[in-house]
Amino acid sequence: MSNEFEGKLLNKAAYVEDILKKYLPKEEGYISRVTEAMNYSLLAGGKRLRPVMMLEAYRLFAKDNSDESEVEPFVAAIEMIHTYSLVHDDLPAMDNDEYRRGRKTTHAVYGAGMATLAGDGLLNYAFETAIDGAIAGKDEKFLRALKVLSAKAGIYGMIGGQCADIMAENGSADAGSSFADEKAVLHFIDENKTGALIEASLMVGAIIAGADNEKVNLLEKVGSNVGIAFQIQDDILDIVSTQEELGKPIGSDIKNGKSTYVSLYGMEAAKDKVKELSEEAMDILKDIDASDSFLEELFNYLIYRKK
């Protein structure tokens, strides 16, 4: 990652951080413990990639009609949804990880019960926040954006991918599955568990900016490719990186018996797939006049990142 790009991404992440702070739940009264855990999770740092994508997609299509206050509630909501998914992923009943982004995970600090509630709270509060934004916007496009956000976060999106992921762990899926079945399940997991929120980020930003359905659908395909490539790269890094670099334990896929693109196809084929998906996504960006944009820089970074 070049110093110039890194500086741009840090500035955009800081901008998102300022937006998030406007929407934090108050730590007071009988709910103070759960809201404290929610805010601990939400302010754990990170590059704020999904809200940055949403803002950039909005800017790409809004141009002179830009009023970022209309997209800000959705920017906060997508990060709340993403954060809740991480809180739950880290729980003992899921991946059982004690470190995330270089510090203790929510359940390691607050206990598994309160971490579960914090994740639940973030998910629900995300929709409270987005709905408030939609009501203030008074336009049908906000309902379309809410529909995309809810579908991509739900059983036909991220949660569906997480379900398939758990079923595939340690052979709990059909033991007689063929290689083709395993390939299909893995694609479904990567498309939904990782790709769905990236797709949502791009689509919601474009919808609120007033993009037409064709452009929104093209961005959905870009998000799918980037999400799958991102997850394959994550699987690669889980093998070749270090805990210090990643900010979380490595080797968890092997430890948990997870099927990954690397385990199914081998390291070289995994790297080739990342390249193929990346090139297709970049071609689509050219078709919608988004090449040489920050989105293109961001996707190249995500797909070929080292940590």
Other Cβ atoms within 10 Å of 163 Cβ, number: 15
CA 78 to chain centre: 8
Residues 222, 54, 120, 98: is their CA dihedral positive or negative? positive
Cα–Cα distance measured from residue 53 to residue 11, given in angstroms and rounded to the nearest whole number:
14
What's the mean per-residue pLDDT of the chain?
90
pLDDT in tens, 80-116: 999 999 999 999 998 899 998 889 999 999 999 999 9
- In sequence order, what are the beta bridge partners of 99? 104
Say what the pLDDT of residue 55 is: 97
pLDDT in tens, 188-223: 999 999 999 999 999 999 999 999 999 999 999 999
Domain ranges, residue 61? 3-303
Q: Between helices 213-240 and 195-209, what is the axis angle to 10°?
A: 150
236: domain CATH number?
A: 1.10.600.10
Mean pLDDT of 156-178: 77
Q: Residue 47 in 3-state DSSP?
A: coil
Predicted confidence (pLDDT) at residue 184 exceeds the cutoff of 80: yes
Predicted confidence (pLDDT) at residue 291 exceeds the cutoff of 90: no
How would residue 241 be classed by pLDDT, with cut points 50, 70 and 90?
low
Inter-residue contact 233 to 267 (CB < 8 Å)? no
∠ CA 191-196-198 to the nearest 5 degrees? 110
How would residue 243 be classed by pLDDT, with cut points 50, 70 and 90?
very low
In sequence order, which ranges of the chain are alpha helices (DSSP H)? 3-22, 32-42, 49-62, 72-89, 106-110, 112-137, 140-153, 158-168, 179-189, 195-209, 213-240, 243-246, 252-255, 261-265, 267-287, 294-303
**What does pTM read for this prediction?**
0.90
Mean pLDDT of 38-45: 95
**Closest Cα partner for 74 from 126, 139, 147?**
126
Q: How many domains is the chain built from?
A: 1
